[in-house]
Structure 1
Amino acid sequence: MPISSIQSSWLFWAALSAVFAALTAIFAKIGVGGINSDFATFIRTIVILLTIVFILTALGEWQPLGSVQPRAYVFLVLSGLATGASWLCHFRALKLGDAARVAPIDKLSVVMVAVFGVALLGERLSFKNWLGVGFIALGAILVAMRS
């Protein structure tokens, strides 16, 4: 498969997201060791903001704020609030628990996305898809349990 078609594949970017999410949990667990988890989230957020500014500038992808529809702003703000809440909770959980047990519970979001996608977006999943969602849920719970 040519590189250009790999880079335009949702699967390629989703796999990279999983790799970076795993590294995020490991690096955060190490970083949150000596500081308040909320302050750690603040530092991480600044790094993300600066990184995105750099990428938008380097690629020339800035667009006028007026070009974004009001509905998009509403849902992007809601997404940002949900992201912030998720990060605060994730860092607090990492401060208190093992990364290898926190991450699977955090990834129950996969199960919730499937349910919300069907309920709110009208997406459809086959029996095989639901079986996979069930296995993800069961696997996350089993990994998170103490021996």
Structure 2
Amino acid sequence: MWIIFSLLGAVSAAIVVILSKAGLKNTESSLGFAIQSVLILVVAWTVVTVRGNFSDLTSIDRKAWIFLIVAGIFTALSSLFTFRALKLGNASLVTALERLSLVFSVIMAVIFLKEKITWQVVIGAALMLGGAVLIAISEKSTDNS
């Protein structure tokens, strides 16, 4: 089931990039992010309430709160940086580099979470890195923003 949700997340993220780029055409990037953030906040808390998880807030331990708050800070930073990049560059180029987060996630998961790495993961990450670099160096011939 995680594969279906992962693929839905990937398609949704692609749609977000395209719609955000279109919305940022005549809008300052941080303002665009702030507008989307309000909707994200409303939807997230609506889902929590509808699923009946609101009362679970009290059972979250201190360590989890810290991790989630710091992750929230980095989520905001990531989005702010991505929105600024989308304002300045082509969506296909920005997304290719921004999705290097996949490679960084693999590396950090091995270092900090002690996840085991397989040769398939190494090759996949190397291919992602190579693809992002290939797309990024094409910028000079394709960037019209």
> How does the TM-score come out when normalised to structure 2?
0.91
Alignment deviations for residues 69-123 of structure 1 (CA, whole Å, 9 cap, x no partner): 0000000001000000000000000000000100010000000000000011101
1:100/1:144 contact within 8 Å kept? no
Structure 1 spans left out of the alignment, 5+ residues = 1-8
**Where do residues 1-147 of structure 1 align in structure 2 (5 Å cutoff)?**
9-145=1-137, 146=139, 147=141
Structure 2 spans left out of the alignment, 5+ residues = none
- Identity over aligned residues, as a percent? 32
Counterpart of 2:46, as a letter, is: F
Higher mean Cα deviation, 87-96 or 133-142? 133-142
C-alpha deviation, 1:143, in angstroms: 1.7
Name the count of aligned residue pairs: 139
Alignment deviations for residues 36-60 of structure 1 (CA, whole Å, 9 cap, x no partner): 1011111111010011122222222
Higher mean Cα deviation, 135-144 or 21-30? 135-144
Partners of 1:126 and 1:64 in 2: how far apart?
36
Counterpart of 1:123 in 2: which secondary structure? coil
> How does the TM-score come out when normalised to structure 1?
0.90
Partners of 1:15 and 1:25 in 2: how far apart?
15
